[in-house]
Amino acid sequence: MLNKSLALGFALVTSVSFAQTLTTNTGTPVGDNQNSKTIGNNGQVLLEDIHLIEKLAAFDRERIPERVVHARGAGAFGEFVASADFSDVTMADFLSQAGKKTPLMVRFSTVTHQQGSPETYRDPRGFAVKFYTQEGNYDLVGNNLPVFFIRDAIKFPDMVHAFKPSPIMNNASDPNRVFDFFSNLPESTHMLTWLFSDYGIPANYRQMEGNGVHAYKWVNENGEVTYVKYKWVPQQEIKNLTQEEANKIQSTAIEHATVDLYTEIAKGNFPKWDLYVQMLKAEDFDKLDFNPVDVTKIWPEAVAKSVKVGTMTLNENATNYFQQVEQAAFSPGTLVPGIEPSEDKLLQGRLFSYFDTQRHRIGGNFQQVDVNRPINNVKTYNQDGYMSMRKQEGDINYQPSTNQPEVVDNAKFKYSKSVFPAGTTTVQAKIDKENNFAQAGELFRSFSKKDQDNLIKNLGGALNAVQNKVIVKKMIAHFYQADKTYGERLLKATNLKVSDIQEYIKK
C-alpha cells in the first residue's frame, strides 16, 4: 500500500514542470553540473572539484563485475614496429628508432551494451592497445570513430545512463532517453553524424579504423611539447555495414566480429594497422576556429598532416579469454615518459575514472595480473591488498630512507611545464614558503615545563631505539631548526653533540 502511495505521489510530481537543484550525495547543492572546475577555460581539471570526483566514483561502481562500458570485447596479441626515430619530438622509448619492435595486446569492444549483446549494434567500437615498452606499459585507448559525444567528463555518467536500459521500462533501452539527453547537448552533433553513418556499424574488428580521439602531448628531452592525435589505419580494406546488412547477420550470429578476428588470426591471416599521428604546436592553437583539445573536433589534414609512426600486426590469439582479455585493464593514464595528457576536459576525467573502475572491477593490484604486468622491472613501495603477487621483501617499505640507496630524481622523467595566459605554471617542484619548522618551534615553546620534559623523554627514547645514527642526526637537526633548546635537549638525550648535526641543518 505504501509503495502504491509513493508511486502515485511521484506520478503527480513528475507531471508538473519545475526547476530543480541538484545536490551531491551528502545533500550539498551543485552549482554547475555541466562544466568541471579548471585552471582557466582551457586548463587542467582540478582534483578539488568534489562534485566531479563523487560523480565519477559513483558511476564507476555501478556494475559488478562487468565493465560499465566496453563490456563486450575481443582481444589478441602482436607487435608494433616503429617506422622512424621520433626522439626529436618524444622521449617515448618505443618510438626511439626505426624498426624497434614492441610487444602489445589489443582489445576491441562495443561500448554501450552488456556482455553477450550482438556485435552488430550501432555503437562506437573501442580500440585499446597496450604497448609493453622498456619503460613501462603504455595504453593507447580510443575508439573507431575520431570524435566523441561530450567534451567534459562531468557529463559522462549522465550520457551512459541515457544510453543504458531504462530503470523502469523492463530494463530495456529507450531512444527517447538517448535523444532527450543529446537534444540538450549541441556538442554531440558531430559524433552523432559519425555514429548514424555506416561507420556506426563496422563489419568486423579487422577492417575498422582506430582513433586515439583525445589530443595528447609528446615531450622531448628538452621539455618541448608537441600536441598529437593518433589514428590507426587498417592495411585491410575498411568495411562497414548498412543497417540491413547488420540485421541479416544478427539474425544468425551475435558474436560475428569476435569469431572473425579469432578465425583469421588462427589461419595466419594476421591483420595489420599503420599508426599515424597529427602534430600541432600550442602557439598554433589561436589560428584555428576551434579548440584543438576539444574531443568533439577532428584536426583537418590541412591543419595537421598525418605522419606514419609505425605498424601493428596481430599474430596471436588469447589462450584463455578471461585471464587475457576480460582481465585486460586499460586506462588513458597508463603513460610512459615522453607522452602526457592534454588539457582535454574529458581526458582529464578519464585519467581518474579508468584507473578507479579497474581497481573496483579487478582489485587494487590489477596491474599485477599477467596481461597487465609490465615487461620491465617494477620498483615501488606500494604494497599488499587483495591478490598481491609482486615479490615484496625486506624491512624498508617507504621512501626516502637512509638505509636504502638514494633515489635520484631524473629531470628527464618529470612532467612537462604548461604556461597559461594568467601566468600560472604547472610544475613538479616544492611549494613556495615551505617554512617547515616555525610552527613546530612555536608548539614546543607553548608547552609547559612538564609537557616539554615528557616530549623530550618520549621522543628521545624513540630516537635511541633507532640503530642508524645518521637517521637520528637528521631528525634532531629538524627539531633543532624548530627551536634551539628543543634540539639541544634531544642531543643530550641521545648522547650527541651540535657538531654531529651541523651537516644536516638546512642552510
Q: Extract the annotated binding site.
A: 354
Query: Which of 51, 70, 214, 360 is flagged as catalytic?
Result: 70
- Nearest partner of 347 among 492, 142, 165, judged by Cα: 142
CB distance 463 to 472 below 8 Å: yes
CB of 297 closer than 8 Å to CB of 290: yes
161 classed as catalytic: no
Which entry of 51, 113, 143, 190 is annotated as an active-site residue? 143
Minimal CA–CA distance to 303: which of 321, 322, 287, 316?
A: 287
Helix (H) or strand (E) run with residue 130 in it: strand 125-133
Which residues, at least 6 apart from 444, have a Cβ–Cβ distance to it below 8 Å? 452, 455, 482, 483, 485, 486
Residue type for 216, please?
Answer: Y
Is 70 among the residues known to form the active site?
A: yes
Going along 20-124, which residue ranges are E strands?
A: 73-82, 101-110
Phi, psi dihedral angles at 10 (to 5 degrees): -65, -40
Cβ neighbours around 172 below 10 Å, total:
8
State the cell numbers at 56: 565519477
> Which positions ≥6 away from 107 have C-beta within 8 Å?
70, 73, 74, 75, 126, 128, 130, 325, 328, 330
Binding residues for heme: 354
Quote the CA–CA distance of 207 and 123 in Å, as a whole number.
Answer: 16
Residues annotated as catalytic (active site), given as ranges: 70, 143
